[in-house]
A and B are shown apart, each in its own frame.
Chain A
């Protein structure tokens, strides 16, 4: 052990990474052989770790933009969802599909059964192409052309096991079919994809 101990300030500078290189080496050399200074270094290191943790958690009153803490881009950086087509061409199929869905639910649902058993097969577009822009008025558009079908499965909670994904499975839920058919034995449930989350 060397006769002189490094000044206490050097320990703080060392853990801060601010000590000059030759002083660093001298301090390290000393700490290897001096238990008291090794303990002092450990103590400074604990303070340093705590300070880093605390500073990271202190809310800054003058800081309006905290997005860097949350790892989200600041307002305005978010890109809106890009339309795959112009607004007019987006609205047209949406309205047609809305009308078709309403008709399907209230009238044609009792008569027509698509052979494929999947409603989306009969649609002129795939649901993925129908994008709703975020943060705009148009978010109030019909959320999805498949939305009306959720009405057909209004008793989701009760019919947890009721699968409406195809015609065969739909018939597995007798209770559901009875409710929809009002007791009509000729009723064939409309095959549809149940979009409600399970």
Chain B
């Protein structure tokens, strides 16, 4: 497989940094029906929603469409007064999952497949699933422990604050954006190897 020789980590120009709006303020604004707040929240979290759909085997364009529909549903819910609280990207990912399940059920119905009457889904994972998750958690924790404290700090900060862009995270960490991206990329590579250890 030939590969392109280019790998570009996104570089951002050295423009004066404008303090990003606080996530909580945006969430409150969105709950109050502020369109600008919705736009900023969508820009921040849409990628996570698309990635969650890609992870479930949805083709890219379909994932983008479903993500778009997800946001429309959320905004519609807010306008009808049904959205009492908002937590992103979690709520959007869950909503996207529902839409995907509906779409798949509809597609199967059109093809003539018959679904069994739905049993109530069990919220607790199966024991073997739990064991796998526990092992994964153990492996990733061990891999994280092997990292340098600064790399661990950067990685955890970025992953624990999905609402922040890399530039915003870099500002908080008092590092350059480039440095943050490189660190996260390297750490992720190690954690990925630790995660996929079960396969090899």
Is B9 a contact of A18 with CB atoms below 8 Å? yes
Dominant secondary structure of chain A at its interface with chain B: helix
Judge if B55 is at the interface, Cβ distance under 8 Å: yes
Q: Is A58 located at the chain interface by the 8 A CB criterion?
A: yes
> Per-residue 0/1 for A50-70: is the Cβ within 8 Å of any B Cβ (1 yes, 0 no)?
111011111010000000000
Stretch at the interface among A5-13, A91-99, A135-143, A162-170: A5-13
Question: In the complex, what's the smallest C-beta–C-beta distance from A185 to chain B, in angstroms?
Answer: 57
Decide if the interface of chain B is mainly helix, strand, loop or mixed: helix
A105 contacts the other chain (Cβ, under 8 Å)? Answer: no
Number of contacting residues on A, CB 8 A? 40
Which size bracket describes the interface of B in this complex?
Answer: 35 or more
Most buried by A among B1, B165, B189: B1
Cα–Cα, bound, A17→B5 (Å): 20
| Cβ of B191 under 8 Å from chain A | yes
User: For residue B52, which residues in chain A have a CB less than 8 angstroms away from its CB?
Assistant: 45, 49
How near does chain B come to A64, taking the closest CB pair, in angstroms? Answer: 15
Residues of A within 8 A of B51 (CB): 15, 45, 48-49
Stretch touching chain A among B14-22, B72-80, B136-144: B136-144
Q: How far is the CA of A149 from the CA of B50 in the complex (A)?
A: 60
Task: Say which one of A36-44, A78-86, A115-123, A151-159 lies at the interface with B.
Answer: A36-44
On whether the beta carbons of A42 and B185 are closer than 8 Å, the reply is: no
What A residues does B195 contact at CB under 8 A?
47, 50-51
- A55–B188 Cα distance when bound, in Å, is 11
